[in-house]
């Protein structure tokens, strides 16, 4: 019965959303072409997938319905959420971004809902949670699939009742913020496996926006690379004026499994390494310069896919730390990962090295 109610409620919300989307579509000037839809905030690219994305952002920007942004890691899901916020009537209100996967499980409820003094051991004062901090703006909950079952239940109630309470308090606080969710995980599969609540999935999945991977829009690689070139040349005080045609060919032929985030890191690294007025192929990582993406000579014999992926991530992490002069917090920020995840990569590598030495 509960699942039936959830299905009916979502069908009602979906129908209302479609009516509102249709109304907004009719309000666009007659004859408006996709290419005429303006770009959105910091999003870059003129490919068809990006033009479709810009149009959808403009259509949903003032809807009060929940939005779920899906897509691979590094595709810019937070930038999409910020674009929706900045183009909406809430633009003057706060935009609060929260990575659910970066918060320890024991603290997640306190961080989201806040707490009163004495709510649990160790609390010395009152804390305002993210739901409250967002006010009448936008709360962006990234990696929603990382929420534990208990927090999923409480979050569902917040979305249903449009109110919440700080831990240790019975006072209801109205939820005024619009909430945008994001995940790189397969939530329908998680629902089937009993790892994510079906009713919560229906509640957050009213409008879905898929962030296109960089592999789906290779024609945007050049524009993105030049954008990062300008940004990091200024940041690092280096007069790197452009990217050579040979280097650009390498960039355009690479498949970018790490998406825009990986391209960002590669261009920044190339600028730091470059001694010329433009980025040359030798300034790029070897696996991008090589014709096949990764030279066969660098692949360990008998290496599994998982092991190769771990080693690649570790190399990126260590290189980022080196470029940041040992500052792991800055390195994690540049890579777009949490500092805790960076430490786990390093610790795992140290354990594997120690295990191999003792074998």
- Structure tokens given for 53: 């994305």
C-beta neighbour count of 89 within 10 angstroms? 10
Q: Are 171 and 114 in contact (CB under 8 A)?
A: no
**Phi, psi angles (nearest 5°) of residue 243:** -120, 125
C-beta neighbour count of 157 within 10 angstroms? 14
* CA atoms of 350 and 356, how far apart (whole Å): 10
Tens of pLDDT, residue by residue, the chain (359 residues): 555 454 455 555 555 544 544 444 434 333 333 333 444 667 999 999 999 999 999 999 998 888 999 999 999 999 999 999 999 999 999 999 999 999 998 899 999 999 888 677 666 778 899 999 999 999 999 999 999 999 999 999 999 999 999 998 889 999 999 999 999 999 999 999 999 999 999 999 999 999 999 999 999 999 999 999 999 999 989 889 999 999 999 999 888 999 999 999 999 999 998 888 999 999 999 888 864 444 434 445 455 666 777 777 788 788 778 777 788 888 777 776 777 778 888 887 776 666 656 65
- Structure tokens given for 185: 């995980």
**If one looks up domain 218-292 in CATH, what number appears?**
1.10.8.60
Q: Are 131 and 139 in contact (CB under 8 A)?
A: yes
**Bridge-partner residues for 97, per DSSP?**
140
- Tell me if residue 98 falls in helix, strand or coil: strand
CATH architecture of 2-118+125-212: 3-Layer(aba) Sandwich (3.40)
pTM for this entry: 0.72
Q: Are 324 and 342 in contact (CB under 8 A)?
A: no
pLDDT for 24: 43
In sign, the C-alpha dihedral spanning 270, 271, 276, 280 is positive
- Structure tokens given for 252: 């355009």
pLDDT for 292: 44
- The H-or-E segment that residue 306 falls in is helix 305-323
- Tell me if residue 209 falls in helix, strand or coil: strand
């Amino acid at each position: 019965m509960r699942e039936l109610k959830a299905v009916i409620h979502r069908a009602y919300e979906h129908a209302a959303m479609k009516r509102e989307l249709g109304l907004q579509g009719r309000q666009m000037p007659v004859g408006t072409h996709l290419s005429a839809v303006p770009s959105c905030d910091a999003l870059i690219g003129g490919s068809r997938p990006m033009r479709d994305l810009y149009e959808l952002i403009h259509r949903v920007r003032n809807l009060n319905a929940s939005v779920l942004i899906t897509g691979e890691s590094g595709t810019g899901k937070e930038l999409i959420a910020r674009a929706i916020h900045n183009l909406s009537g809430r633009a003057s209100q706060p935009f609060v971004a929260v990575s659910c996967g970066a918060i320890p499980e024991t603290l997640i409820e306190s961080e989201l809902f806040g707490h009163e003094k004495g709510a649990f051991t160790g609390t010395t004062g009152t804390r305002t949670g993210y739901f409250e901090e967002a006010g009448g703006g936008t709360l962006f909950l990234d990696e929603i699939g990382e929420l534990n079952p208990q927090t999923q239940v409480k979050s569902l109630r917040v979305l249903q009742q449009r109110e919440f309470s700080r831990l240790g308090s019975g006072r209801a606080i109205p939820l005024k913020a619009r909430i945008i969710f994001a995940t790189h995980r397969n939530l329908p599969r998680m629902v089937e496996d009993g790892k994510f609540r079906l009713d919560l999935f229906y509640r957050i999945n009213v409008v879905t926006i898929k962030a296109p991977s960089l592999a789906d829009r290779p024609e945007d690689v050049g524009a993105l690379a030049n954008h990062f070139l300008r940004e990091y040349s200024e940041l690092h005080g280096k007069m790197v004026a452009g990217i050579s045609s040979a280097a650009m060919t390498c960039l355009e032929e690479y498949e970018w499994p790490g998406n825009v985030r990986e391209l960002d890191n590669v261009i920044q690294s190339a600028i730091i390494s470059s001694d010329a007025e433009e980025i040359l192929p030798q300034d790029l990582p070897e696996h991008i310069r090589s014709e096949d993406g990764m030279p066969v000579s660098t692949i360990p014999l008998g290496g599994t896919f998982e092991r190769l992926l771990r080693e690649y991530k570790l190399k990126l992490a260590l290189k980022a730390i080196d470029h940041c002069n040992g500052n792991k917090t800055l390195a994690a920020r540049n890579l777009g990962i949490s500092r805790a995840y960076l430490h786990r990569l390093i610790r795992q590598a140290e354990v594997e090295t120690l295990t191999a030495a003792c074998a």
